[in-house]
Amino acid sequence: MAKRTSSSVEASRNSPPDRGSRAGRGSGFRSFSYTAGAAKGKDLVIVESPAKAKTINKYLGSGYLVMASVGHVRDLPSKGPKKPPGAKKAARKSDGAPAVRAVRSPVPGVDLEHDFKPTYEVLPGKEKVVSDLKKAAKDAMTTGGNVWFATDLDREGEAIAWHLAQELGIESSAARRVIFPAITKAEIEKAFQNPHAIDEDRVNAQQARRIVDRIVGYQVSPLLWKKVARGLSAGRVQSVAVRLVVEREREIRAFVPDENWQVVADFALDVSDAFRLAPEWAAFLQHRDEKGHPPTLKSQNAWLAGQGGFRAELVQVGGEKFDLTTPGRVGSSAGGPDRFAMPMSADRTADVAAIAHAAGLTGIKGTVTEDPDGRGPARWRRNVTGVIDPATPYRIGSIETRRTTQRAPGPFITSTLQQSAANRLGFGAQRTMRAAQQLYEGVEIPGEGPVGLITYMRTDSTHLSGEAIDMVRSYISRTYGERYLPEKPNFFSSSNKAAQEAHEAIRPTSMNHPPERVRSSLSADQCRLYQLVWERFVACQMAPSQWDATTVLIMGGRGGTAPDGRSIGELTFKATGRTLVFDGFHKVTGLPHAADEQTLPALSEGRALSPFGLGVHQKFTSPPPRYTEASLIKTLESEGIGRPSTYASIIGVIQERNYVEQIQRRFLATDLGEVVTDKLVEAFPEIMDVGYTRDMEGLLDKIEEEHLDWVDMLRRFYGPFKKSLAHAMETLTHAKAETVPAPEAYTCPKCEKEGRGRTSLVYRFGKNGRFLSCSRYPECDYASPVDREGKPRPAADTVDVACPKCAGAMTRRTGRFGPFLGCSRYGDKSSPCDGILNIDKKGYVVAPSPPALLTELPCPTCEAPMNLRGGLRGPWLGCSRFPKCRGRGKWGELDDQKRQALEKALFEHEKANPVLVVRTLGGAALTDSRGKPLPTAPTVDVLAGKTASAEAGADETLESIADEIGVS
C-alpha cells in the first residue's frame, strides 16, 4: 500500500519508484523459510524486521512464533495493465474496423474514474514471505492460536498491519493489533494485555497520502519529460523542498551587502603593561599558521586572558550610537538618521579615521582596492591602519553583573535528533535514522541477548512517561547528587502543534545500559548516536545552568574633529563576558564555547585603563546561509512540510534526482533543479506553495483524527489538479526554448570577429545545464558553457591528467551529475576513447573504484548479498544495494574458517582487479594505491592551468536543442 517514504518522488513508468526502507527488496530480497507445522499450538506474531522479531521473541517465550514481513508486502503496481481486467482479445470490431488499442492507466493501481479505488499487488520477491505467513497463520488459527500484528506504531506500521491482515483474510475489526513505544519486557507485556483492532482511519490517512503522491508523481513526470527532458520526475513534497533550496540560492545571488564599520580596542590595566604589550600584540596578529590563516578569535581571546587584557567594542561617540553604515541598496533602512549617516555612494574612510584618531590611533593610513566580484559597497575594500598610543586616557565608567540561567533542551523528537546528529556528528538524515532503527529494534548485548536500547524513533512528541521521568530522576540523584535534580520534573511542549503521533520522545529504554557499558556491542554509528540520545535524555531532567553575565562600559579618548568640522566627543566602548556559577545540565552535555566569549580580569568602576591595540574593520552584512541538512529539516518541520518519518527520504531523493547537490555540507540548487522548479511553479502554483503542502498534511491528520472522508479529500484535490495539468501540457514553453539575458559585459566573440559588431549573449538550458549562446542564433551558433556563477568558461579545459585507457590528455567536462574528466579523444572518428575520471567535492581527481567482491552473506538490514572490500583496518562488508541500503556486516562475528576463505577470495580478486593509479601526462602519480588523492596532488583547477585550453564551445550544440524543441 504505502512506502516508508510515503511522500517519495514517483519515478517514470520505465523506472519504478524505490520501495523504501519497509518495502520489498526485489531480486535482492531473501526471506526465512517457514517450517510446516511450526505455528501449530502457538500464537503467531508478525513484525517488520528480523532484528525486531529476534528481540521480541526473547520476551514472549515458547508459546509464540515471531515472524518478519521485512517491510511492506503489498503496494500499488508500478505499471498498469494495458487493457481492463477481463477484456477479451479482439483483432477487429464487428464492423471490420480495427479495434481501439487499449492503453495503460495514467496512474497505475488507482482508478481515477471510480472514487480512486486502489488495486494492490504483492511486491516482487515477497511472494514466498506472504505464502509462509499464510501457512503459519493457518496453522496457528486451526489449533486455537491467534495472529498478532506487532508492526510499528505510526501510519506506515498501521498500513503494513492492514495489508498483512488483508492477505491473511483477517478483518481489521477482528485483528489483534499491538503497539509498543519501546521493545522492553514491560512494554510488550502491556501491549499484549491491551490489543485493539487495526485503526482504519489511520490506514485511510496513509492510503490517501500514497494515492496523492502516486497521482502527482505519475502525471506530473510526463509533463517534465515533454517540457524539460526525458527521465525527470516530480513529487508533491520533494518538489516543494527543492523550491526552498532554489529560492534560497536566488536570495543569495540577489543579495547586495550593506557596509558597516567596527572599531575595537584592547585594554590593559596600567600604562606600562600597555606599552609592553602593544608590539607583542601586533606581532601576534600578524602571525599565520601553516595554511596561511591568521589567529582565530578564540586564540586571540586566550592570548588576551593570559596577559590580563581584554577587548571592547566602540558603541557610542559623544553620547550617540556609533553606526557608520552604507546601505547596499537604495531605500535600505540600514544606517538611520544619526550624524554619521551619509549617502550610499560616500567613502566613509575619513569619518572612521577621525574616530580612530580620537580613540588613540596615530600615523593613520588608508588604502583601497577594487574587488571586481563585489556588489554595492563591497566592490571597494578599504583598510585603515595606524599605531596605538597607550597614553590615550580611558576609565571604567560602569560595571553591571546579572545572574542568568539556561534551561536544558527537551528530549529528542525525530527532527531534532536528525538536526543534532548532523551538527554534532556530521551524520546525514538517512544515516541517523538507520542507526536509530537498529538501536530501537535491538542489538546483541553479552549475557542479555538482543536488547532494544531506545524508544521508537519516528515521533514528533516531547512527552515522557511517568516511569521514564522517575527512572532518570533517580539516576541523576544517584550519579550527580541532589544539586543537579530540580525540585519538580521538567516538562516540554511540542513546537509542532499538528503533532501526528501521541507516543513518547526518543529516549533510552533503561538507565541500566549507559553508553560506556554497551559500547563494545555497538557499531561506531550506533554508539555515537546512542551517546547523543542518552545525554539529551539525562540533561532534559537536570537543573538549569547559572551564569554571571558582566557588562563593562569604558569611557575616554582624546577628542578630535570630524570631516564636517564638528568636534568628536567622548568615546564609549563596551566589553562583555560571563562566568559560570553552576554547570547544571552542562555536567552531561559539556559547556558551550562561543568563539567571541572572553574572560574579564578583576575590574572596578573608575579605574584607569590603557589601550595597547586598536582595530578598524570594514564589515559587510552576509547573505542568508545555504541550507545544511539540519537547517533544511528544521525548515521542513516549522513549515509543516512532510512528517518526521519522511524527512530523511525527502533529503535523499532530491539529491538522487540531481535537483540539489551538497558541497561542504551545504545544499546548492543545480541548474536542473532550478529549471524544474520554475516549470512546476508555473504549472502548479498552488501545489508548489508551502502553505498548500502544509494544509494537505493537516487534511491527512483530519482523516486519521476526525474521520474526514478520504475519497472526498482526493476529489477536491484531483479536480483542480487535472485542469492545471491539462493547461500546462498545452501552454507551457519548453525549457530549452527559453532564454535569459546575460550581463552586458558578456558579448559574442564570434560576431565581433566576423564583423557583425557587439552582440549580446543569452543563457539557455541544455542537457548539461545552463550555457551561453549568441542572441543572434540561428544566424550565429556561438556557445560557451558557464561556471556556477554564470561566467563563461572554455567547454573542455585540457587538464594535465593522463587518460586511464589510452594515456592521452583529458579534458574537463560537465555532465548531468556535475564535473568530470573525459578523454580528449572522445568522439574522435579515427581512434575514439571513452576514458572517464571523477572529481571529488574538493576538486581532486579520484581513481575509479575496482569492482567489489560479491559474497553470499546477507545484509543485516535488507538481506541482499553483501560486497567485500579491503580497507585501512582490514576487510569490511557492505550492502550491494548501496546507496539505497547502507547496511554493514560485522566481519569479526564470522567464524575463522569463513573469514579465511573470504580473505583468500578477496586477495585473488584484488590481484585480478588492481586499483588504478592516476598520473599526470608526465607520469607523476596523483592518487595512492587506494585510489585516493595524494597529499601533494594539485586540484583539477591547478592541473588545468598547466596546459593550454581547448577552443571554447558548449557541452551541447545549439542544433541538437533546436531539433528537440522544433525550432528551425
Closest CA to 476 of 534, 517, 422, 530: 534
Residue pointed to by grid coordinates 575496482 = 850
Alpha-helix residue ranges (DSSP H) falling in 707-863: 710-731, 749-753
Strand partners, 142: none
Closest CA to 278 of 262, 263, 266: 266
Say if strands 545-556 and 571-582 run parallel, antiparallel, or are unpaired. antiparallel
- Are the C-beta atoms of 601 and 269 separated by less than 8 Å? yes
- Are the C-beta atoms of 525 and 427 separated by less than 8 Å? yes
- Quick check: helix, strand or coil at residue 845? strand
Q: How far is CA 742 from CA 57, 764, 828, 954, in A?
A: 66, 10, 33, 15
Strand blocks (E) in 270-425: 310-317, 320-321, 325-326, 361-370, 380-388, 394-406
Residues taking part in catalysis: 456
Residue pointed to by grid coordinates 498491519 = 161
Q: DSSP secondary-structure letter at 487?
A: S
Residue 573 to residue 386: CA distance in whole angstroms: 19
Closest CA to 650 of 75, 357, 244: 244
> Phi/psi at 717 (nearest 5 deg)?
-80, -45
Q: How far is CA 257 from CA 252, 540, 622, 670, 747, in A?
A: 10, 40, 6, 24, 28
Q: What angle in degrees, to the nearest 10, is found between the helix axes of 155-168 and 200-227?
A: 100
| C-beta atoms surrounding 443 within 10 Å | 21
What's the grid cell of residue 818?
556535475
- Are the C-beta atoms of 133 and 68 separated by less than 8 Å? no
Alpha-helix residue ranges (DSSP H) falling in 307-422: 349-359, 414-420
Instruction: Tell me the DSSP string of 823-840.
Output: ETTTT-SSS----EEEE-
| C-beta atoms surrounding 707 within 10 Å | 11
Q: How far is CA 210 from CA 6, 216, 513, 674, in A?
A: 6, 10, 39, 26
Terminal C-alpha separation, the chain: 48
Residue 600 to residue 578: CA distance in whole angstroms: 8
- Quick check: helix, strand or coil at residue 846? strand
Residue 215 to residue 555: CA distance in whole angstroms: 69
Residue 419 to residue 648: CA distance in whole angstroms: 11
Residue 673 to residue 655: CA distance in whole angstroms: 10
875-878 contacts: CB < 8 A, separation 24 or more? 875/899, 875/902, 875/903, 875/906, 878/852
| 465-476 per-residue burial string, b: 16 or more CB within 10 A, e: under 16 | beebbebbbebb
Cis peptide before 778 (omega within 30 of 0): yes
Burial of 518 (0-12, 13-18, 19+ CB in 10 A): buried
Residue 444 to residue 594: CA distance in whole angstroms: 40
